[in-house]
Amino acid sequence: MNTITSKAGAQAAAGAGERISGARLKAIFIGSAGNLVEWFDFYCYSAFALYFASSFFPKQDPTAQMMSTAGIFALGFFVRPIGGILFGHIGDRLGRKTALMTSVLLMCFGSLLIACAPTYAAAGILSPCILLLARLLQGLSLGGEYGASATYLSEMADSKHRGFYSSFQYVTLIGGQLLALILLLVLQNFLLDAEQLRAWGWRIPFFTGACLALLALRMRHNLPETGSFEAARKEAKKSAKPMGGMKQLAQHPREVMLVVGLTMGGTLAFYVYTTYMQKFLRLSVGLTDSQTTAVSAASLLFAMCLQPLYGALSDRIGRKPLLIGFALLGTLFTVPLLTGIRHASGPWQAFGLIACAWMIVSGYTSINALVKAELFPASIRATGVGVPYAFAVSVFGGTAEYLALWFKSISLESGFYWYTTAVIACTLVVCWFMRDTGALSKIDAEARGQ
């Protein structure tokens, strides 16, 4: 009886979703917009680190200052698994909407704390401690945001266009960083000089991010819950089985290992060409501050445009070919591309090489969240997507910038290129042997009542 009722509920939810396509698109837009705000807040730290590093770490060596800020950046990633567990539990027990609202509120508080943080000259060692606390709060927030937003967008999208609509998670994720760089570009070229940016102008983006987070919270308050969650909650009540939790996640070891294996190479490549690339262009290539910001912003805009194209392609040919394409080409061309960027003759050549890199990396970024969501049933989906991803990204993504700067500090910068290649090669093995989630999607199976 429960099975029949579950099938009817899932089919009704799916049918209702088809009839209210306008409402569905609005929900996807709001969910994506909130994701953009969260990542804007988080990436303001990386974008403006060149200007506020001396306020918190008064050392003479710019590379040492960058390593200090990169170390706190990495620590912010290390708490993301805790955020994944916490918000995965909220998303699977209380709803995707509740998790999305809570995460953006926590991000708001973290941004406001950085905006108001005293400098080292004013508060001594308390200054970097406050910065660390703020980044830990933001890390907790993002640890939950990824799983909650990936689950929400995947469940709200229709089956035929799920790759396309789900790709907007990374459109807005990249867009958050692009927005931070655009703000930096405007401040650099039109409003403030370098001395003003280092003195107090770096606080502007964090105040802006806190205000935008409050706006996103209000928008998310009006989000509808997904049909998949409602159907799973009804089934859980009838069967008296709990939703979410680490005990339930432990029942899906293969899927958990797949998420970790896919994430390790993909997230490392992503952070190489986003957060670290800005420092790479400035410290290694030798571009000016304005050129660095312009090249970074242009490459991110190019990457944003690729995401829905690749997502739509996955709806036609499947998810696996794109993942294999990323991992294979990433293994072959990471060292040549980073070497070429290192010896670029100017900003245009650097941009062209980074654009080539994004044509490879987008095979992962455009669909990775969806692939992970399609692996898990609705009752454990937010936890299943968020927790193993957060563990992998904390180890491989959060440390990318620090390791790159460490290799540079010991005069072995190319060692980082080979490290990145090796990690992507491990992901290639995972992609090669995995099944295509587009053809075996748990989301579609639930909609069919299977």
Q: In whole angstroms, what is the distance from residue 100 CA to residue 107 CA? A: 11
* The pLDDT value given to residue 16: 40
Q: Cα–Cα distance between 86 and 76 in angstroms, integer? A: 16
Residue 11 lies in a domain: no
| Burial profile 55-82: b = 16 or more Cβ within 10 angstroms, e = fewer | bbbeeeeeeebbbbbbbbbbbbbbbbbb
pLDDT at 28: 80
The dihedral built from the CA positions of residue 276, 277, 279 and 283, taken in this order, carries a sign that is: positive
Q: How confident is the model at residue 64 (pLDDT cuts 50, 70, 90)?
A: low
Look at residue 351 and tell me if it is in a domain. Answer: yes
Q: Residues 360, 55: contact at Cβ < 8 Å?
A: no
Average pLDDT of the segment spanning 288-310: 90
Domain holding 371: CATH number? 1.20.1250.20
Domain that holds residue 288: 18-243+252-447
Token pair belonging to 173: 């994720």
Asked whether residue 46 carries a pLDDT value surpassing 80, the answer given is no
In this prediction, residue 13 carries a pLDDT of 41
Helix pair angle (62-78, 80-93), 10° resolution: 30
- Highest mean pLDDT out of 160-164, 312-316, 438-442: 312-316
Number of domains in the chain: 1
Instruction: Note the pLDDT of residue 84.
Output: 87
pLDDT at 63: 62
4 within some domain: no
Q: How many whole angstroms separate alpha carbon 86 and alpha carbon 21? A: 31
Half-sphere exposure of 382 (CA within 13 A, CB side): 33
Q: Do the domain assignments include residue 74?
A: yes
Q: Find the mean pLDDT for residues 264-276.
A: 92
- The confidence score (pLDDT) of residue 273 equals 93
pTM here? 0.83
Q: Has residue 223 got a pLDDT over 90? A: no
Residue 344 φ/ψ region, left for φ over 0, alpha for ψ in the -120 to 50 degree band, beta for the rest: beta
Distance CA 58, CA 418 (A): 32
Residue 448: the pLDDT is: 65
Residue 3 resides in a domain: no
85 to 6, 72, 230, 331: CA distances (angstroms): 27, 21, 21, 32
In a domain, 126, yes or no: yes
Tokens linked to 222 = 């009006």
Please answer whether residues 361 and 409 qualify as being in contact, where contact means their C-beta atoms are separated by less than 8 angstroms: no
Q: Which of 239-253, 284-298, 366-380 has the highest mean pLDDT?
A: 366-380
pLDDT at 319 over 50: yes
Is 5 within a domain? no
**pLDDT in the model for residue 4:** 35
Chain centroid to Cα 27, Å, comes to 19
The whole-number average pLDDT for the span 142-150 is: 83
pLDDT tens per residue across span 383-418: 888 889 988 988 898 788 889 888 988 889 899 999
Q: Which position has the token pair 């090249």?
A: 295
Q: At residue 426, does pLDDT exceed 50?
A: yes
Q: Which residue has the tokens 């690749």?
A: 310
Residue 320 in any domain: the answer is: yes
